[in-house]
Amino acid sequence: GEDVEQSLFLSVREGDSSVINCTYTDSSSTYLYWYKQEPGAGLQLLTYIFSNMDMKQDQRLTVLLNKKDKHLSLRIADTQTGDSAIYFCAETLSGYSTLTFGKGTMLLVSP
């Protein structure tokens, strides 16, 4: 069955790098996503990666995928206080719009 796991909390200082980790169990997952949720808001799509890729970089964000270990990570460079939010990892199969989400990692950035 499908299951996505994330650590619940991460605290960093402004200017440091943040790394949020995620593991998934469905080896047939095709797309893996990172969403950000700020208080009182919906989910903002940050980035996504296809399962045939190892890495994707988008400005301050770097996604690494280890398909053998079913491990996905999101690195945020030069973390800012505005990055404080809950980050969700999610997986889906090709051709489907059904996402399986992790419980979310709360990132707290202190000045």
Residues near other proteins (CB under 8 A) are: 31, 33, 35, 40-45, 48, 88, 90, 94-104
User: Of the two residues 32 and 109, which places its CB atom closer to other proteins in the complex?
Assistant: 32
- Least Å distance, CB 105 to other proteins, is 12
User: Of the two residues 31 and 73, which places its CB atom closer to other proteins in the complex?
Assistant: 31
User: Of the two residues 5 and 16, which places its CB atom closer to other proteins in the complex?
Assistant: 5
Contacts of 87 (CB under 8 A, 6+ apart): 6, 20, 34, 35, 36, 37, 46, 74, 104, 105, 107
- Least Å distance, CB 95 to other proteins, is 6
- Least Å distance, CB 39 to other proteins, is 11
